[in-house]
Amino acid sequence: MDPDAIAESLYARLIDRRIAIEPGAGIAFRAGQLIVGVPPGDPLPPGLPDPIDQQVFDEFETSEGFEPSVEYHLFEGVDDPVGTAEALRQADSPVDATVNHVLFGEPAYLGNPAYLGNPAYLGNPAYLGNPAYLGNPFARNGAIPVREPVDWEGPAECAGDSPIVLVMDTGLATDSGRPAHPRLEGHAVVHDDWKMPGPGIDPSRTDEDELNLDDGFIDRQSGHGTFITGILRRHSPGARIWIEGVLSSFGDGNDWDISLGLRQALDRAAQQEVTIDVVNMSFGCFTSDDQPVSQPRVLRHRIAEARAEGAVVVAAAGNAGVCRPFWPAALPEVTAVGATDGCGRRAIFSNYGPWVDACAAGVDVISTFLFHNGPVDPADILRADRLPPGQTVPDWIQDPDDYQGWAMWSGTSFAAPYVAGAIARFMCAEGVDAEVAMTAILNGPAVEDLGVEVVLDT
């Protein structure tokens, strides 16, 4: 496809996502959307359009006390969502209002902490729509193809029921309704309704290229969910891994729809009379003032429901290399996971601070990926006759976008499932519930501003 046509299509698609940014605040949100919460039965604030959706939450207890029952309403077509939310929160009323935050998956961009960790940067469609940039296989997706699969354990016998780990992410690469990767067969469960719900959501969303531009390149976070599922498969082979698609193949989701996706998974578990034990969220966002009042409120309520129903929630701490709280990881109900370099040191891209509970290896992680051979000609990247004498061209340089089901990637996105897998593994081995397992896993020596370092023997 012509580069100009690719750029135009990408730009239109990103505009359709309605990703807006707040200059100077470092936050991204759905343009024109506002979330307003009121006590059940109370009137909505005047001057707003009719709501397009509603979510209702009962009272729940947090570490900070009780949160009252609330009805949240989603509005569209609001001229100034940021200013309107601030005005409603400051009014002398019980109204709770926020923008509909956009949350991004958290793979590191080739070790550059200022890049993927910055939602204001990712939210710039003019940049993502630049074909000269996106046409570079080293820039479009940070995953590096690897040829040799790692040695993994076989299926494990559990002392009790096999724990269920819910992966809320870009979904899973599938083939005829089953995992496309053979190493995930029998471990990852693909439900008929795993794709993200919500108003205006693309029903064709999968873990692979969403744009169907026929340009041959994969999207920025294609394979992200498949990669995370593989990490869980490796470190907790006895677990059942459920898939819930809440991010696009560009890595963006939002507060409202992610909340709906979590409720969908919890309802599915209730219908099957099982319990989701661990929830992995390798995504997040910053807020305008870094305070709980402006955090993704709907998602926090839904996380509280998941905790009340027996699940522990693990989330990536983010890749901006700063101590600024990153949500939902910074919630007290969530286990926030930073990344180490595998030698006990903080990875340069990892966020950090007293709000981070645990850390795990997040650099050069190898896991399952897509089967995809892109259009890049290896001769255009590096020719063997240009190398110094005695040096050979590494396999991945020979064809840098030929993925044969395996890749190497870095980010707190991949440290989080390491910890989630450790919790599920402990549950399987000891026959205990998720809360007990999490407490045991987090009872160890801590790395400064990164929490307890979790290290497994595989």
> Three-state SS for 200?
coil
Give counts: helices (H), strands (E), the chain.
Answer: 13, 23
- Res 389: pLDDT: 72
CA distance 403 to 366: 12
CA quadruple 110, 111, 113, 119: dihedral, nearest 10? 20
3-class state of residue 21 by DSSP: strand
State how far the Cα of 6 lies from the Cα of 140, in Å rounded to an integer. 13
Please list the pLDDT of the chain residue by residue as tens digits (458 residues).
Answer: 555 665 566 566 656 667 777 766 678 889 999 999 999 989 999 999 999 999 999 887 766 677 788 999 999 999 999 999 989 988 677 888 999 999 888 776 433 333 333 333 333 333 333 232 222 334 356 788 787 666 777 667 888 889 999 999 988 888 777 788 899 988 998 777 666 554 444 444 456 555 445 556 677 677 899 999 999 999 999 999 999 989 887 788 899 999 999 999 999 999 999 999 999 999 999 988 887 667 788 999 999 999 999 999 999 999 999 999 999 999 999 999 999 997 889 999 999 999 999 999 999 999 999 887 776 666 555 555 666 677 666 655 556 677 888 988 899 999 999 999 999 999 999 999 999 999 999 998 888 899 999 998 76
Give me the residues paired with residue 244 across strands.
168
Cα angle 308-439-312, degrees, rounded to a multiple of 5: 30
Closest CA to 337 of 359, 363, 304, 353: 359
- Torsion angle (degrees, nearest 10) of CA 386, 389, 393, 397: -40
What is the SS3 assignment for 204? coil
Question: In 180-311, at which residue ranges do the beta strands (DSSP E only) sit?
Answer: 188-189, 240-245, 252-254, 278-281, 283-284
| Cut 0.75: pTM above it | yes
Strand partners, 212: none
Where do the domains of the chain lie? 3-103, 143-453
Element containing residue 35 per DSSP (H, E): strand 27-38
Paired tokens of 165? 């780990």
Tokens of 371: 């089967």
Confirm if 259 and 54 have CB atoms less than 8 A apart.
no
Q: Which two tokens stand for residue 289?
A: 């003032």
Helix, strand, or coil here: 253?
Answer: strand
Q: Are 277 and 424 in contact (CB under 8 A)?
A: yes
**Tokens 């794709």, residue located:** 195
Helix 412-430 × helix 434-441 angle, to 10°: 120
Q: Residue 377: count other Cβ atoms within 10 Å of its Cβ.
A: 8
CATH of 143-453, one of 3.50.50.60, 3.40.640.10, 3.40.50.200, 2.40.240.10: 3.40.50.200
Asked if residues 221 and 128 have their Cβ atoms less than 8 Å apart, the reply is: no
Q: What are phi and psi of 378, to 5 degrees?
A: -55, -30
Provide the 8-state DSSP code for 397.
H
CA–CA distance, 244 with 261 (Å, rounded to integer): 7
Q: Is 388 helix (H, G, I), strand (E, B) or coil?
A: coil
Max CA separation in the chain (angstroms) = 77
Q: What is the distance between the terminal CA atoms of the chain, rounded to a whole angstrom?
A: 44
Q: Which amino acid is at 160?
A: G
Alpha carbon 445 to its chain's center? 27
**How much is the pLDDT for 304?**
92
Rg from Cα positions in the chain: 21
Say if residue 51 is preceded by a cis peptide, omega within 30 of 0. no
